[in-house]
Amino acid sequence: MAKNKSEIGLIGLAVMGQNLALNVADHGFRISVYNRTTDTMKKFVAENPNTPGGLVGCETLEDFVASLKRPRKVIILVKAGGATDAVIDGLVPLLQKGDIVIDGGNAKWTDTIRRERDLKAKGLRFIGSGVSGGEEGARFGPSLMPGGDPKAYAFLEPVWNAIAAKVDAKTGRPLGGAEPGKPVEGGVPCCTYIGPDGAGHYVKMVHNGIEYGDMQMICEAYDLMRGVLGMTAPEIGKVFAKWNTGMLDSFLIEITADILQQADPVTGKPFVDVVLDTAGQKGTGKWTSVNALDMGVPAPTVAEAVFSRCLSAVKEERVAASKILTGPKKKFDGNKAAFVKAIHDALYCSKICSYAQGFQLMREAQKEYQWKLDFGAIAQIWRGGCIIRAAFLQKITEAFAAQPDLANLLLDPYFNSTIKKAQANWRKVVAAAVEYGIPAPTFGSALSYYDGYRAARLPANLLQGQRDFFGAHTYERVDQPRGKFFHIDWPEKVRPQIEI
């Protein structure tokens, strides 16, 4: 009987669940599927009768659990948060010691830590796995970031490696392309064991924070071409298409080129011109920023990307303010092609800083949570499958291969020399944004991060003076060893300092 049992099971047949189940089945693994609404499951199974591995539709959780090989592997793909807990609560009484629950949603890493601990106490094992790449990725090759008990992951690894996107070992280029129904074989899978408990979901969260930064930077580049140069959406789309053939080659630049050249089916106008300018968000960028603040890691570019979405959301207020508040009315009279090139460089330099911040954040998190993250491997699995996949990630992979303990991406020779060459243009663009009154918060904050990180002396000396003045918060001295604190008995004009 055991040989008819399924290799793995999946609960939650929304778009991501259906696509992931088909990807698993395409790779020859028999997969049981369960959905709260049985009709959805029946329709899905009926529509996909001939997959290589086979789909086994189950109407009850009991049948679903009974249909799985032991140790059972159950993937949950439902809305992150309470829904995940509800599914786990229903599932746990039916499972047996050693069975493995895999959460493939965008869970908060602290929830994953809690769930892993709770399930462990019940003799069960829990894997929290980041799954990136949207519908298309889930179907034909996502980037996978699994975390949890490594012994449990060993059971999942063959399936995860098989379904993940593949890249060329040397160039890091995605292999094959998404040809419907044809799994991509060979190459390096965009999947690696990240670390214990919440490590996988943490890394997925940082991926999403970086995704927020990339998206906002692209929007700023578009806004500058529109606002300063008066270019139309299709014209800007063509610029992005050209950029996609160079060092900015990436999924997000590619889809931006397509979106900008898309016509609205109703009016025939450029599609983006009829889309309301208020951005949604589900929270992963906010979690990244809040965590950066909690750990005291400077990650201003991701935070600016989140705040930009927040500012976009107050549409009515902005429309009212636009009738009251004034700004410059400058006309561009420079070299258009040179300015477009400068925007390209500003985008690339800002992107380097944003990724530098993301990797700094993971470095700090691994200390906080006692993980041992392999940054080179993380950059590698982001080369294909995921939303931030980009040729650029090959450079990050190479940077960490050359120096696994690299303190900051900016210090890698390639990134350092790239910024050296491009920074004049970057500064020009940030200055132009200010002069023309066009908001470019991620470009500007990335540049301030760069200038701050390379500054041997920042004005925090004065800040410490202020803190000591009003709150006796003490200060350290440049001529004394670190860790020795002093205080002046303010507000007397000149008083001798008192050593604390």
DSSP state, residue 125: E
Nearer to ligand 6PG, 231 or 388 (CB): 388
Spell out the SS3 assignment of 271-325. Answer: HHHHCCCCCCCCCHHHHHHHHHHHHCCCCHHHHHHHHHHHHHHCHHHHHHHHCCC
CB 431 within 8 A of CB 335: no
φ/ψ of 346, rounded to 5, equals -65, -40
133 binds ligand 6PG (CB under 6 A): yes
Nearer to ligand 6PG, 229 or 305 (CB): 305
288 binds ligand 6PG (CB under 6 A): no
> How many degrees, rounded to 5, is the angle at CA 206 between CA 278 and CA 426?
70
CA distance 198 to 205: 10
Among 6, 18, 19, 106, binds ligand 6PG (CB under 6 A): 106
CA distance 315 to 393: 35
Length of the chain: 500
Q: Is 69 one of the annotated active-site residues of the chain?
A: no
Nearer to ligand 6PG, 77 or 430 (CB): 77
Catalytic residue among 7, 211, 220, 304: 211
Q: Is 330 one of the annotated active-site residues of the chain?
A: no
- Give just the sign of the alpha carbon dihedral 463, 464, 469, 473: positive
Residue type present at position 193: Y
Nearer to ligand 6PG, 152 or 387 (CB): 387
Nearer to ligand 6PG, 362 or 387 (CB): 387
Q: How far is the CB of 165 from ligand 6PG (least distance, A)?
A: 12
Q: How far is the CB of 200 from ligand 6PG (least distance, A)?
A: 13
23 binds ligand 6PG (CB under 6 A): no
214 binds ligand 6PG (CB under 6 A): no
Containing 497, the helix (H) or strand (E) segment is strand 497-499
208 binds ligand 6PG (CB under 6 A): yes
What does the block give as tokens for 243? 């950029």
Q: Would you give the distance in Å from CA 173 to the centre of its chain?
A: 19
Contact track, ligand 6PG, 344-383, x by CB under 6 A:
----------------------------------------
134 binds ligand 6PG (CB under 6 A): yes
Containing 488, the helix (H) or strand (E) segment is strand 486-488
200 binds ligand 6PG (CB under 6 A): no
281 binds ligand 6PG (CB under 6 A): yes
128 binds ligand 6PG (CB under 6 A): no
Residue count at the site for ligand 6PG (CB under 6 A)? 12
What does the block give as tokens for 205? 């969260």
Nearer to ligand 6PG, 106 or 256 (CB): 106
Interaction site with ligand 6PG (CB under 6 A) = 106, 132-134, 208, 211, 280-282, 284, 386-387
Q: Which residues belong to the active site?
A: 204, 211
